[in-house]
Structure 1
Amino acid sequence: MRKIVGTFGEWRLSMDKEDIKKNPDKPQIRFYDDGELIGIFDLKTLNILYDNEMSIYDIKFAKKTIGRNQDNYLETWQDYVSGVAHA
């Protein structure tokens, strides 16, 4: 889990084990602002899968942050799917 703190609040990107179990072939990441889920992004395409009134700034910020670490997030997702992370 990666945690980012900004001047307007606390943001968090996380992968949910339930998402991994339900859709192992569809990697996604959740975006939280001050503890509230405000969006879910497709890890491969960065498309928005769920939008809970994200601002344009939120979307740009999340996509940029996810994009910087996209390979690591995808690798972690695959590790969970293959069971490596559960060992």
Structure 2
Amino acid sequence: MLESTNALLAAITAVLREMKRCQLLLDSGSLGEAEEEELGPFVDQLHEAFADLSTVYESRRSEHSKLISLAALRARVAAEPTQGVV
């Protein structure tokens, strides 16, 4: 159970980091219109993956209240320094 929970947390963290990277790219203004349109479906897939992973994680968390909350995990990823994104 611990290994699968750790793997789930790693997957959620990876998705959050990729969502952050994509948002930084979009906010930077460095992408052309065509590139932004290409990125759109990928961002949608990231949001879907996050929703699916979150559902599984929250059901685990309801059984083990000491697990980090998704809000805290989001905050942790948001606070990470960004390097070489743009």
In the superposition, the TM-score normalised over structure 1's length comes to 0.33
Compare relative contact order (CA 8 Å, sep 6+) and give the higher one, 1 or 2.
Answer: 2
Question: Would you tell me which structure has more strand in proportion to its own residues?
Answer: 1
Question: Would you tell me which structure has more helix in proportion to its own residues?
Answer: 2
